[in-house]
Chain A
Amino acid sequence: MASSHSNTHTEAAKLEQIITEFFYKSLLIILESRSPYVSSRNYSGEQIMSSPSSSSSSSSGVRPRDKWFNLALRECPSALENFDLCRQSNFEPVVIDVILEQKQLDWDPVTFSPKSDLVKHSSSKDKNSFFWNSDQEESGCEAKGEKVIERWFVQHESRKGRDCSSGSRRSSSNNLSALYKKLILLLRSLYVTVRLLPAYKIFRDLNSSGQIRAFKLVPRVSSSVESFTQKEEAEMQRFWFTPVDTSCGRLCLSVLYRSSISDISSESSTPMSPQFIPDYVGSPLTDPLRRFPSLPVSQGSPSSLPFSRRHSWSFDRYKASPPSVSFSPSPTHSESHALVSNPSSRRAPPMSLPPHPPGASLPHKKNTNFDEYWPSPNFSASPSPSPSPSPSPSPPIRIPGGHLSKALLRSESAPVNIPVRKLAGSPALSCKQNLPPSPPLKISRADISWTDNNMGPMKSGATIEKLFSFGKGDGQKYSGVNSPRTSFFRSSSRSIQDDFDDSEVPCPFDVEYDDMDPGSRPESYDRRGNPSDPNEAGLFMNRKSQDAAVGALVQMLKKAPPLRQDIPSSINFSEASRPEMWNNNIQEQNQNTEAVTVEHDASSIITSSRLVASMTTADALEELRSYKEMKNLLLSEGDM
């Protein structure tokens, strides 16, 4: 008797323990899959590493409580806290509300997981009930952005008129084993079910996503809650787990859940999706003058200005350019002038390009306005692009060695003329000699906008093409009147063609100086490919005055190789004389023919010198005489 009594007591105790642990386990399974950041999901790595089956002997990874129902889970603090309080009850029903809560500014992380301020009160029902208020602050805040998306019911329904102790007589170990097995199955299915319900997706997203969500999942454990309204319940679905009979009742597990949670979560979430900011500070859209080296042509313009655009980016041509090229007398153009003249600066990325055309040293300022507006793809592209930081377009003007004319003419829009003029220019090249005020090229200094001068992309392009065509066909016609310009244009037309042939000249503003002088064009072409004297072009660029040019020529002659190899020296001489001749050509219209003549003479000398394999004294004397004549000519012209 005593033994049976003790057995009964033992069985009852065991049953009670089983039921208690069932409560705890079900609470754990639900909470750990609904409380982000404390879920066993985060410890999946450890799960893989340590399998209970392998570690059962060591039991290092399995706590005693994990062995209950043969389901080893990570401990969930919130579940533990709530359960510890629950242990005092006699299998009171446990209601777990999973609440989708809108995050507030003063969100308290503490409220994220259900903390407990135990508030014990008696419900209207006969049972004693505990009420775990997970967050006191949120009590009564149901209406504030909270939505119960799941409600779990875990309860043990006792059989009326029976208590477990009396029923325990029937509870044999077999029954307990069967009960235990069934509860294992129940908890297995619970574990799978919580992961199939819609709320798990939210939980998973909150756990894994790095997005800042505007909502949170708050499981709230309580004993009694307000029933849902009919409307609310209609929106929810219920899933019943098959109750498991015990000796004194049955264990019931069910859930009310919303099937359409994704709508709620998507509405309340504000993920920070990447957005492209097209008009950031410094973007080409906001700063058209700022070019990126990777961009061959900027937006829009190149299509309209094929010629110009092509050469805007060729930095290489500016290698030998002297540091200062007086393209514009305007102080505002100093930077751009420097840019043109300075190869290094020209090679700088477009963003670093100075806003103004280079060469502020030239005296004449009449057409400085042109200098301010070095053509840039954006300029011509946009009808009203006030070049924001400066009027000058960003692309550098390349002035390759020996291609000064081309370089100057490459700048298709107004600035095209500037280098020409400037170069011609020397101080003697006054503004009067400036290019005729053609609409596309005449840009007043105050006139920053291209539009005022009809420098829309199409117009500028058309203008440039017109200019080229003009230069081609009519260059000669205008040589006497607007010779400086037209001659350049004429030469530029050819030079541009050459530039197109030259893969090294993508920049539309590449100024080719080879063809500055139409008369010398053949020779220039011949010598164009000869980079033997890059310094010559540099000297050309540097010449700011006739005197300087002469001085440079004299120096060149002094440094010329001996007559033994008369070819190079003669070439040097002729090439040295060329800029001077070009300058003269620009300066004086009447001297065009003379310049051409001189040029022809020089070229003839070069040709002849090349053919001579060996020099005789007579030849040498004759050559010397010709040199002297040229020198005198140059000196005489310089004095003029």
Chain B
Amino acid sequence: MNCEVCQLKELEVEHFEIREVLRCILHTIVFHRALGLVRPKDVDLELFEITYVQCGDVELEKKIDEKIDHFISWVEKHPNKKSQICLSFYEVKSKQPSWFTNKTERLYWEQWYINLNVTQHPKHHSSKSHHTKLVVDPGESATEERSSRRAMVEASLREVLFQIIKFVNEKKDHVPPISEGVIYFPYEITIPSSSDSAFGMDMIKRMLHSGHPTMLS
């Protein structure tokens, strides 16, 4: 079984938009991978004219929110950095215990990379594109720029969601069979750690566990 990897389009978001954007993307992906019996829950974003779908599992929602909180904390400590959140789905397979592996093995069959470029607070200088440069002083131009920027973020988010839909539609064979009583596949959300190197180590570890080279799509 291949590990399908989907690199989502990079989104330029502001700090206060992180939560909503991540919730939208993560829940959309998980909803497509919650193949158990679900009663979908529609959630309207507050910042954007987008409605996304949750699978309705309270525990899942809580875990996702926790991860988002961790990510936001990390962003606050590492401002003005491109960041990546990895949502991985895996299968747990028992393996012959050896001296360097555990008894169980995580077989990652799908990885989603959510690429975010968190722009600075408007008060701080941002070296990003002009879309992120917000004028501090109130005025019509600032409002217009803000609204146009907001529209752009919304359009980008919509693109990302369609990207997820297309990916889900195009690649179905790698999805493991549905287990009885399981709502969603085991998943793992990886946020950047304190250092980039550690993040890279996580990737290497994952590759070792999965036993398959990471394939970039």
Contacts and interface: CB of A to CB of B under 8 A. Distances in A.
Interface residues of B, number: 34
Contacts of B183: 53
B20 interface: no
B77 interface: no
B99 to A, nearest CB: 37
From B32, B158, B172, name the one whose CB has the most chain A CB atoms within 10 angstroms.
B172
Contact of A181 (B39, B41, B172, B181): B172
A244 B35 CA distance: 17
B38 A72 contact: yes
A61 B40 CA distance: 13
Interface in A452-501: none
A158 interface: no
Interface in B164-182: 164-165, 168-170, 172, 175, 177-178, 181
Interface stretch (A42-50, A570-578, A624-632): A42-50
A631 B52 CA distance: 97
Given A192-B161, A196-B162, A71 B40 contact: yes
B53 A195 contact: yes
A189 B32 contact: yes
Interface string B89-115: 000000000000000000000000000
From A178, A192, A204, name the one whose CB has the most chain B CB atoms within 10 angstroms.
A192
Contacts of A200: 51
Given A52-B56, A242-B170, A185 B175 contact: yes
B49 interface: yes
A41 interface: yes
B168 A70 contact: no
Given A51-B56, A189-B165, A44 B37 contact: no
From A41, A181, A188, A201, name the one whose CB has the most chain B CB atoms within 10 angstroms.
A188
Interface secondary structure of A, over-half rule:
helix
Interface secondary structure of B, over-half rule:
mixed
Interface residues of A, number: 37
Contact of B169 (A44, A61, A181, A189): A189
A56 B35 contact: no
A30 to B, nearest CB: 14
Contact of B58 (A51, A70, A71, A184): A51
A453 B53 CA distance: 75
A196 B164 CA distance: 12
B190 interface: no
A44 B41 contact: yes
Contacts of B31: 188, 191-192
B57 interface: yes
B169 A53 contact: no
Interface in B94-149: none
A244 B32 CA distance: 16
A244 B161 CA distance: 21
A47 B177 contact: no
A70 B56 contact: no
B32 A192 contact: yes
Contacts of A177: 177-178
A185 B51 contact: no
A14 interface: no
A184 B35 contact: yes
Interface of A: 41, 44, 47-48, 50-53, 56, 61-62, 66-67, 70-73, 177-178, 181-182, 184-186, 188-189, 191-193, 195-196, 200-201, 204, 241-242, 244
Given A191-B53, A201-B49, 19 more contacts: A44-B42, A51-B38, A53-B36, A53-B56, A53-B183, A56-B181, A71-B38, A72-B37, A177-B178, A181-B175, A184-B178, A186-B169, A188-B31, A189-B32, A191-B31, A192-B52, A195-B53, A241-B169, A242-B170
10 contacts: A62-B37, A72-B39, A182-B172, A185-B168, A185-B175, A186-B169, A195-B52, A196-B50, A196-B158, A196-B162
